[in-house]
Amino acid sequence: MKHLEVSFAGLNLRNPFIVSSCSLTNTVEKNLRWEEAGAGALVLKSLFEEEIEAESASMEQGIHTEETDYLRTYYRANRLDHYLQLIAQTKKKCSIPVIASINCFRNSEWTDFAFHIANAGADALELNVMSVCSDDDYVYGSYEQRHIEIVERIKRTVDIPVIVKLGRNFTNPIPLIKQLYAHGVAAVVLFNRMASMDIRVDKLTYTHGDIWGHPSDLYEVLRWTGITSAHIPSLDLAASGGVVDGEAMVKSLLAGASAVEVCTSLYRNGSSVIGGMLEYLTNWMQSHHYTSIDQFRGLMNARQQHASDRFERVQFFKNYSLRDD
**Cβ pair 273, 266 in contact under 8 A:** yes
Map residue 312 onto helix, strand or coil. Answer: helix
* Per-residue confidence (pLDDT) for residue 91, from 0 to 100: 98
Dihedral in degrees, nearest 10, Cα atoms 293, 17, 29, 271: -110
State the average pLDDT over residues 74-93.
92
Using CB atoms within 10 Å of the CB of residue 131, give its burial: 0 to 12 exposed, 13 to 18 middle, 19+ buried: middle
Q: Is 135 left (phi over 0), alpha (psi -120 to 50) or beta?
A: beta
Question: pLDDT per residue over 102-118, tens digit each?
Answer: 988 777 789 999 999 99
pTM greater than the 0.75 cutoff: yes
Higher-pLDDT residue of 283, 321: 283
State pLDDT tens for residues 182-217.
Answer: 999 999 999 988 777 889 999 999 888 777 778 899
pLDDT at position 31 is 98
User: 126: closest CA among 88, 91, 178, 87?
Assistant: 87
